[in-house]
Amino acid sequence: MYKELVPYAKAWSWQKTIVDERKAHIERDEDVADTLIVLQHQPVYTLGTGSSEENILFDVKNSPFELYRTERGGEVTYHGPGQLVMYPIINLRYHKMDLHWYLRSLEEVIIRVLSSSFSMEASRIDGLTGVWVGGRKLAAIGIRVSQWVTYHGLALNVTTDLSPFQQIVPCGIHDRQVGSIKGLLREHSHSNSRGTENYQDIDDVQLIDITHKSLVKEFCEVFQVDLQCKPSPLLIS
């Protein structure tokens, strides 16, 4: 559903339903395939379990967009059109029962996407979760794990309007800016940066398509899984 704008509450409900079903199978010593949901959200602000409202720069009673406090980790962030959100619902028992490893693996997916598809040198920052290019954060990660089943996930700014981030302190980090793939490609379009010249004339839809394809490919490689596109009755109801 990566081309669709899905209300946050609906996607959140899907995840919790799938997680509950997955845990019920585990309790019966059964299991089912992992699930990977990729979509865009209608404009929304979300907070993690320990988020401080001090990082919200508007009156929470008069929020410019819907505002949700969720059970994921991390601080306040923004989701909206042009941002690809990936929700992996996977049983870490079949991967590695290590939350640090899982977070670093999600970061690795994004780092590979930015390198392989856009020739961008992305990196981690010690002590922080997410992915940066230069001093700009392109991807945020916030997860929840219940009985070793993951949900929530990552959000990568592709063609996102970044102005809503000015209404918050994104992820509670005061001294770093957010960025997008489109914005960085535009900045480097007249430079000699390897590969960026190939993206000067593509539109937003094509940029989303390229990024989505790369995200799914790199996720499968990092987590060593095969993907079968099989819409769930839950998601199409």
In the chain, where are the structural domains located? 5-227
Find out whether 218 and 116 touch, Cβ atoms under 8 Å. Answer: yes
pLDDT tens track for 101-130: 999 999 999 999 999 999 999 999 998 999
Give the containing element (helix H, strand E) for 138. strand 136-146
Cα–Cα distance, 90 to 160 (Å, whole number): 27
Ligand-binding annotation for 67, yes or no, is no
**Helix, coil or strand: residue 19:** helix
Class of domain 5-227: alpha beta
Average pLDDT over the chain reads 91
Active site residue 220: no
pLDDT tens track for 50-78: 888 899 999 999 999 999 999 999 999 99
Paired tokens of 93: 């028992």
Ligand-binding annotation for 154, yes or no, is yes
For residue 89, give the nearest of 131, 4, 32 by alpha carbon: 32
Paired tokens of 136: 């700009």
Tell me the range of 24-33, 85-94, 193-202 where mean pLDDT is highest: 85-94
Ligand-binding annotation for 195, yes or no, is no
pLDDT of 71 reads 96
The active-site residue, picked from 171, 178, 215, 216, is 171
pTM to 2 decimal places? 0.93
Ligand-binding annotation for 73, yes or no, is yes
Classify burial at 90, counting beta carbons within 10 Å of its beta carbon; exposed 0-12, middle 13-18, buried 19 or more.
buried
Ligand-binding annotation for 155, yes or no, is yes
Ligand-binding annotation for 78, yes or no, is yes
For residue 18, give the nearest of 88, 97, 93, 92 by alpha carbon: 88
**Pairing verdict, β 35-41 and 83-89:** antiparallel
Largest CA distance in the chain: 59
